[in-house]
Structure 1
Amino acid sequence: MPGSTPAAQLRRIAAVGPQLAWAVGEEARAGSSQGRALAMLWNGSAWSRTDLSHLSYAGRLNDVAGVSADAAWSVGLPAADASPLLRWDGTTWREAEFPGSGEPDVLLHSVAVGADRRAWIGGSRGGSARLLCRDGQQWRWLDPLPVAGADLYRVVLGAQGEVWVGGDRTAGSGWAGLVARWDGAWTVLPPIPGPRLSISGLHAAGPDDVWAVGTDAGVGGPPGRPGSPVLSHFDGTAWTRVEPGFGAGSLTGVAADAQGRAAWISGWDYRDQTRSTYLRRDGDAWTLVRGPLGPAPAPYLSDVTSVPGTAGFWSAGMTSPTPFPPTEAYTERLGA
């Protein structure tokens, strides 16, 4: 991707229309050391890197969400014992204050923004997973999620104004997939079992129609051993695992169509890295499809999102499965 410095990766992508989208991650990563923050902007014809040099924060950005040209938010990895919260004001990113800002036990993992501009952030404070909500000009922490050892890696908004979170929870010597709903109080869905299973993507058309995707890292194996992709559906009572069409790799994000149904899932197929990997909704089934041949020989997709006002989608990730040079940030456009 023009403007990023290897090794670079994009973690999340968000769009408000064909003329505006954001993608965030990190660049200039050296080995296992964290790189510096990367925030890209789509203006309808090209991606460009936004200037972050005026910010005190420099680490990786984990998530981004927005609903208009001057209403977008991003969160990042903790730096100097504090998690950053950034706001896009229409021309640049600015650091924002919130209750607990600068406290060493505060972590911000994920963010969503509604059409009413209310922002929801999944994180933790005081050792408990929580939502941080912005209503009007005020931020406030909501009641703790009643689950010990939980992390919230994804926040999405439901059709009825409810807020859904996905991540993982401690389970024995490993962890299980976690999905919960906030509608003034917490409802925690049954855990999605697996030795080391984490949910990274989520879509809720309703309380009886929830799709969750992620990776089960499994137990044992050589270094670099790939996990197993996880695709699960909740019908209001129980989770049903669905065969994704490949057995080694990951599923990372879910995007809905104009009717609000889960339509595309981004992923990575360890055994076929010649093109990017997706699952596409065909009626009530999911079909494994490949992205276009392009400049990335083995693209890894971290996220996918719909482009409002169109039948198209954006996906984002990196040009290889590991963030080491010469890996670059990467995006693909699907559909119209």
Structure 2
Amino acid sequence: MKRAWMIGAAAALVAGLAAPAHAAERPWRTMPAPFGLWPQSGLTDVTARGPQDVWAAGFEGHACVEVPITGGVPLRLCSSNAIVRKWNGSSWENRNPPGLWNMKVRDLESSASGDVWLSGEKNNGAYLARWDGSGWSRVTPPEPCGSATNLRVAPVGDAVWASNGCLARWRNGTWTAYDTDFYVHTIHPVSDTELWARGTDLPFRDVIARWDGDTWVEADVPEGYTFLLAAGPQGALLSGPGKTELMLGTGGTWTAIPRPPSSGGYRVGEDGALWSADDPDDPDEPGARFYRFDGRTWQSTPMPALARTGFGDTDRGGFDLTGIPGTNGAMVAVATAEDGGPLAMTDLP
């Protein structure tokens, strides 16, 4: 979530420059998945710092029980243990931080400085941990972040932002909380001082906000474009109800680009190419495919046959996709097999 949702240099492609050498049709393949997990396991989140430094998070030991409710529908309670693994270029290494028993992963992010941040839900509260290059340390979220059960993190330089239930920034071991007139769900860094955020306001009005280095304000965006899909060093990508095109903004200029034929979210390659993907569990989709924007149209390539999973944050399942730095545009994705089990995919040759 993420590095994975940032636009990167896609704006340069829209401006008419030649597309990177990366071939949109380059086939995806399955790669070895983490082994030794308990039954009913899967992967839900991925972040990458290089081809020998890919991090994935997910779950194992997923189980559910139904609790009878007098005169009503039984209450379904599910639990699982979280897992974190690192791909070193040839195998997966166990990188579990402390306290993952009976925890659900919510977000996994890495920063340019090399830190990895993991957020989750544990005991009806927020879990937060940081890998500093040599080991994990638990980080105590500030209130009201401590009671947020779906906390999102956004590393920015030497700091990290926490949102979705609170709004706070961690730097040098100290938290600073921020108040806004709207609820911030996710934050997307553009630079160390400029960030964009997707939020909502009563009565359930979508809000696009911008941090200018000092405060959060509602952003000036094209009329009717109310939903922030992504933002990155080259700008912000927006959609709106009834809009047939997306809007890409960079340097104060907004450019319309076509929508992809996919049903999923947006990612960016290390080469700046914009990606999207189908929801493989959607019965209306003829087949699960990845889509890459070449500056004019969306080129497609099929997912490996075993990659039958869904995007949603559900009791089981999950899907995430991100670029791999230092690979001229290669991507990596993790998923949960339709019948359970971890999956990893890449288009790295």
Distance 1:81 1:245, change over 3 A: closer
Structure 2 residue 323 is matched with structure 1 residue 306: yes
Task: Specify the alignment match of 1:11 in structure 2.
Answer: 44
Structure 2 residue 61 is matched with structure 1 residue 46: no
Count of aligned residue pairs for this structure pair: 293
- Cα contact 2:83–2:100 (8 A) shared by 1: no
Q: Deviations over 1:130-187 (max 9, x none)?
A: 13232xx22222422331xx2423x3321x4234344441454x55364543522213
- Within 5 A, what are the aligned runs for 1:1-336? 1-3=33-35, 4-31=37-64, 33-52=78-97, 54-55=98-99, 58-67=102-111, 71-77=115-121, 79-90=122-133, 92-100=135-143, 103-104=146-147, 106=148, 109-114=151-156, 116=157, 118-123=158-163, 129-134=166-171, 137-147=172-182, 150-153=183-186, 155-158=187-190, 160-170=191-201, 172=203, 174=204, 176=206, 178-189=208-219, 202-206=230-234, 209-212=235-238, 232-234=247-249, 236=252, 242-246=258-262, 249-251=263-265, 253-258=266-271, 261-268=272-279, 270=282, 271-272=284-285, 274-275=287-288, 277-283=289-295, 285-298=296-309, 300=311, 302-311=319-328, 312-320=330-338, 326-336=339-349
- How far did 1:262 drift? 4.7
CA RMSD of aligned residues (A): 3.9
- How far did 1:280 drift? 0.7
Find the residue that maps to 2:62 and give its secondary structure.
coil
Instruction: Give the gaps of 5 or more residues in structure 2.
Output: 1-32, 65-75, 312-317
Q: Deviations over 1:220-275 (max 9, x none)?
A: xxxxxxxxx995534647796842214xx332x422434xx352234425223643
Distance 1:272 1:46, change over 3 A: farther
- How far did 1:305 drift? 1.7
TM-score, normalised relative to structure 1: 0.70
Find the residue that maps to 1:60 and give its secondary structure.
strand
Find the residue that maps to 2:179 and give its secondary structure.
coil
Which gives a bigger RCO, structure 1 or 2 (Cα 8 Å, sep 6+)?
2
Higher strand proportion (structure 1 or 2): 1
Distance 1:95 1:42, change over 3 A: same
Distance 1:331 1:241, change over 3 A: same
Q: Return the alpha-carbon distance in structure 1 between the equivalents of residues 220 and 256 of structure 2.
A: 11
- Cα contact 2:195–2:212 (8 A) shared by 1: yes
Find the residue that maps to 2:293 and give its secondary structure.
strand
Q: Return the alpha-carbon distance in structure 1 between the equivalents of residues 221 and 149 of structure 2.
A: 22
- Cα contact 2:129–2:138 (8 A) shared by 1: yes
Question: Structure 2 counterpart of 1:113, which letter?
Answer: P
Identity across the alignment (%): 17
Instruction: Give the gaps of 5 or more residues in structure 1.
Output: 219-228, 321-325
Higher-Rg member (1/2): 2
Q: Return the alpha-carbon distance in structure 2 between the equivalents of residues 109 and 61 of structure 1.
A: 10
Q: Return the alpha-carbon distance in structure 2 between the equivalents of residues 302 and 213 of structure 1.
A: 22
Find the residue that maps to 1:61 and give its secondary structure.
strand
Question: Structure 2 counterpart of 1:210, which letter?
Answer: A
- Cα contact 2:48–2:323 (8 A) shared by 1: yes
- How far did 1:299 drift? 6.1
